[in-house]
Structure 1
Amino acid sequence: MNLNLKNPIAFIDLETTGINVAKDRIVEICIVKVNPNGDEEVKTYRVNPEMPIPAKSSAIHGIIDEDVKDEPTFKEIGKTIAKYLEGCDLAGYNSNRFDFPLLAEEFLRADIDFDMKKRKFVDVQTIFHKMEQRTLVAAYKFYCNKELEGAHGAEADTKATYEVLKSQLDKYDILENDIDYLAKYSTQNHNVDFAGFIILDENGVETFNFGKNKGVSVEKVLADQPGYYGWVMNSDFPLYTKKVLTEIKLRGFNK
């Protein structure tokens, strides 16, 4: 089943130096862009992360320092990527918890204004886990009846993710071929920031989701504990979390 699209959708997979959204960097990014008419475009970039790639990460994706030492940095290609993704909704595998938060960090570090709020996000892993509870390799075998050659390579994983989503739509009548629906269905938490440090509670109120203020509204904490904002800003939280917190704080000044 082909996707029913109002906007182009970009399937994205990142290979990185590690799994810390706040600190780790991209070493490879693949984008499979699917247009509403069904045409597909594939772009893959190797990226110099400007930091050593740990051996345990290289063991997963096969990319070592030597492979990327002469490649452009994200800051050098970030505007090209942002332009390519203009007007696209975004999709991936475990992307809401990892790929998109880390990509947002890279854009912020490079001082590139890439508005993530205007997009729909479809996480194929969430749909898969709600239905079957497996990995991408197993998902590809289960839905597409194929072996995933080149697993943990950005391009192979990205193309497989796109194929799995189309097969999920064929298999499950309950799923609607609509990106708004799929984005909502594949969202596990009502995160305000990507990492889930700030969420919307059942009343739609922005609330901290960690530490001593878990379950307390952000506006109340900022009003009652003036030093808490500074602590977050000076601690090892993702840049996007800090950006969201700052927006809430500034919004309070205008009330």
Structure 2
Amino acid sequence: MELNLKKPICFFDLETTGINVAKDRIVEIAILKVYPNGNKESHTWRVNPEMPIPPESSAIHGITNEMVANEPTFKELAPKVYALIKDSDLGGFNSNRFDIPLLAEELLRSEIDFDMKRALSVDVQTIFHKMEKRTLEAAYKFYCGKNLVDAHSAAADTEATYEVLKSQLDKYDELENDIAFLADFSSHKEHVDFAGFISYNAEGFEIFSFGKYKGRLVHDILEVDSGYFGWVINADFPLYTKKVLTRIRLQKLNTKF
């Protein structure tokens, strides 16, 4: 079954120096852009992360420091990456919890104002886990009947993710061939930011989900403890978390005028 698209969707996959969203860097990015008419274009870039790649990470994806020493930095690639994804929804495997948050960090570090408010995100892993609870290699074998060659190669993983999603639509009648439905079905809706430091309460208001103000309304804390905002902004939190908190603070300030 082909995807029913109202706008392009970019399936993407990252290979990185590690799994810390705030600190680790991209060493390879692959993007498969699928258009509503079914046309596709794909791009893969190796990236100089400007930091050492730990041996344990190289052991997973096979990319070493020597292989990226002469590659462009992400800041150099960022305009191309953003131009490719800015008009699109996003899709990936574990993308809501890892790839999108880390990509957002890299774009914000590159001074590109990336904001997911303009896009839907479909996490194929979440759909898979809700339906079958396995890994990408197992998903590819289960849904597509093929072995995933070159697993942990970003390009192979993006193509496999795209094929798995189409096969999921064929297999499960309860899944609608609609990106908005798939984004909602595959989302973890409780968090405002990617990292989960700011969440929604039952009434839909933003609350802190960590620290001494855990469970308290963000608006209320910014009113009674103005220094807390400054502490978060200057501490080692993800850039996207800081962006979300700044937006909430500006909304509160604007309501006073």
Same fold (TM over 0.5): yes
User: Residue type of the partner of 1:40?
Assistant: K
1:246 corresponds to: 246
**In 1, Cα distance between the equivalents of 2:20 and 2:86?**
26
1:99 corresponds to: 99
5 Å-filtered alignment, 1:75-224, equals: 75-224=75-224
Could you say what secondary structure the match of 1:117 adopts?
helix
How far 1:129 sits from its partner (Å)? 0.6
How far 1:211 sits from its partner (Å)? 2.1
**In 2, Cα distance between the equivalents of 1:240 and 1:86?**
17
How far 1:203 sits from its partner (Å)? 1.0
1:15 corresponds to: 15
How far 1:212 sits from its partner (Å)? 2.3
**In 1, Cα distance between the equivalents of 2:96 and 2:124?**
10
How far 1:160 sits from its partner (Å)? 0.6
Over the matched positions of the two proteins, sequence identity in percent amounts to 66
Could you say what secondary structure the match of 2:116 adopts?
coil
Aligned residues: 255
How far 1:49 sits from its partner (Å)? 0.4
How far 1:74 sits from its partner (Å)? 0.7
> Unpaired runs of 5+ in structure 2?
none
**In 2, Cα distance between the equivalents of 1:40 and 1:196?**
33
**In 1, Cα distance between the equivalents of 2:160 and 2:92?**
10
How far 1:202 sits from its partner (Å)? 1.7
User: Residue type of the partner of 1:229?
Assistant: F
2:6 corresponds to: 6
How far 1:190 sits from its partner (Å)? 2.8
2:25 corresponds to: 25
**In 1, Cα distance between the equivalents of 2:18 and 2:241?**
19
How far 1:38 sits from its partner (Å)? 0.6
CA RMSD of aligned residues (A): 0.9
Structure 1 stretches of 4+ moved >6 Å: none
Superposed CA deviations along residues 159-178 of structure 1, whole A, max 9, x for unmatched, are: 11111100100000000000
> Unpaired runs of 5+ in structure 1?
none
1:57 corresponds to: 57
**In 2, Cα distance between the equivalents of 1:239 and 1:110?**
11
Superposed CA deviations along residues 65-107 of structure 1, whole A, max 9, x for unmatched, are: 1000100001111001111112100000000010000000001
